[in-house]
Amino acid sequence: MRASRPMIRFCLLILALTVAAALFAVNTAPAAGVLGDAAKGAGPYKTYCMSCHGEKGDGTGPAAAALNPKPRNFTDKAYMKTLTDEYVVKVITEGGQAVGKSPLMVSWKAVLKPEEIKDVAAYVRSFAK
Ligand code: HEC
């Protein structure tokens, strides 16, 4: 039995709509990467992180002197290579305690949106490049 012409047209129309919907979804979906935009992360870093982690990310911010353990040196390439992007996002989101580190590194999820945390994480990464 041969499919009727209107039937074929209908199927082609559905196919075209499906392709259009898929293209729309791909174009509007947010970037799926773990890290965000480092340039956008610079502002929040200076506001919330620099006091401890330092302007250059080397862990020598003015508040760092009072901390034990001290914040790590984000410019140390060999050390930073041992941390995954997922870990960096997690420690900023959940705080140091969630990964077995200092509770003085607090959770930032009440202050920064998930996208902002991704941007800050990208900025943290940029110190070792
Ligand atoms: C009150 C000081 C303080 C502030 C403010 C602070 N941190 Fe931390 N941070 C720490 C300390 C202390 C550690 C834990 C160091 C350790 O235990 O090795 C830490 C750990 C981290 C780590 C994990 C490093 C590692 O080696 O595992 C990341 C990443 C990080 N902080 C990013 C940030 C970001 C981004 C911000 C701002 C949103 C921020 N911190 C704000 C003190 C601070």
DSSP 71-110: PP-TT-HHHHTTS-HHHHHHHHHH-GGGGTS-TTS---TT
Same domain, 20 and 46: no
Minimum-distance ligand 1 atom for the alpha carbon of 108: 38
Minimum-distance ligand 1 atom for the alpha carbon of 123: 35
Q: In the prediction, which pLDDT does 29 show? A: 56
What domain count does the chain have?
Answer: 2
CATH of the domain at 44: 1.10.760.10
Domain ranges, residue 10:
1-30
Whether ligand 1 lies within 6 angstroms of the CB of 90 is answered as no
Contact present, 63 and 48 (Cβ < 8 Å): no
25 Cα: distance to centroid of ligand 1 (angstroms): 36
> What are the angstrom distances between the C-alpha of 114 and each of 30, 47, 123?
12, 17, 14
Same domain, 53 and 24: no
| pTM of the complete model | 0.81
Q: In the prediction, which pLDDT does 63 show? A: 96
Q: In the prediction, which pLDDT does 26 show? A: 65
Q: In the prediction, which pLDDT does 82 show? A: 97
Rounded Cα distance between 15 and 39, Å, is 41
Quote the DSSP letter at residue 72: P
Whether ligand 1 lies within 6 angstroms of the CB of 128 is answered as no
Burial of 84 by CB count in 10 Å (0-12 exposed, 13-18 middle, 19+ buried)?
A: exposed
**pLDDT averaged over consecutive 10-residue blocks of the chain (129 residues)?**
81 83 67 88 98 98 95 98 97 98 97 98 96
- Hey, what are 22's tokens? 């898929």
Rounded Cα distance between 64 and 54, Å, is 8
